[in-house]
Amino acid sequence: MNLEDLVSVSGMSGVFKMAANRNNGLIIEDLDNGKRKFASARKHQFTPLESIAIYTDDDDSVELTKVFRSMLEQIDDNPPVATNAKSDIVREYFNDILPNHDRDKVHVSDIKKLIKWFNFLKERNLLSLDEDPKKKGSDEEE
């Protein structure tokens, strides 16, 4: 699972691939049709998915990749809930995925966004349980 070039762009739904970096914004690529467009840094904020982590109650955090991996492993027994489900149902689902998440810092809206991203990437076959090639290569070198 490689989230390296994927970004979330404020004001735009979905996840995009970062095609190029400009000093005044990014050129992003739509994952469905491959079309590229410029997104201005004046209008949008960009969040690389690989930089996102979920707070845990032991004052640490868990990378989004690990959370997605847990969601994939449990998808048959515990499929993602609908993003329009009631808050307590969403929270209960996420308790199964990441039992030690910090309930004060991780809001239901954050969990819903995470579920949307997971479903978006899963539909496009961009998630897998395979190890990242970079991590696998660095483990072999050590």
Q: Is 111 exposed, middle or buried (0-12, 13-18, 19+ CB in 10 A)?
A: buried
Give the model's confidence band at 130: pLDDT under 50 very low, under 70 low, under 90 confident, else very high. confident
pLDDT one-digit tens code per residue, 69-124 = 999 999 999 999 999 999 999 999 999 999 999 999 999 999 999 999 999 999 99
CA–CA gap between residue 66 and residue 72 (Å, rounded): 10
CA–CA gap between residue 23 and residue 27 (Å, rounded): 11
Q: How many residues does the chain have?
A: 142
* Global confidence as pTM: 0.86
Quote the percentage of the chain above a pLDDT of 70.
91
Residue 137 pLDDT > 70, yes or no? no
CA–CA gap between residue 105 and residue 130 (Å, rounded): 30
CA–CA gap between residue 87 and residue 48 (Å, rounded): 26
- Give the pairing type, strands 46-48 and 53-55: unpaired
Helix pair 87-97, 64-73: axis angle to 10 deg: 90
How high does pLDDT run on average in the chain? Answer: 90
In Å, what is the CA distance from 121 to each residue of 6, 49, 67, 89, 127?
10, 11, 13, 22, 6
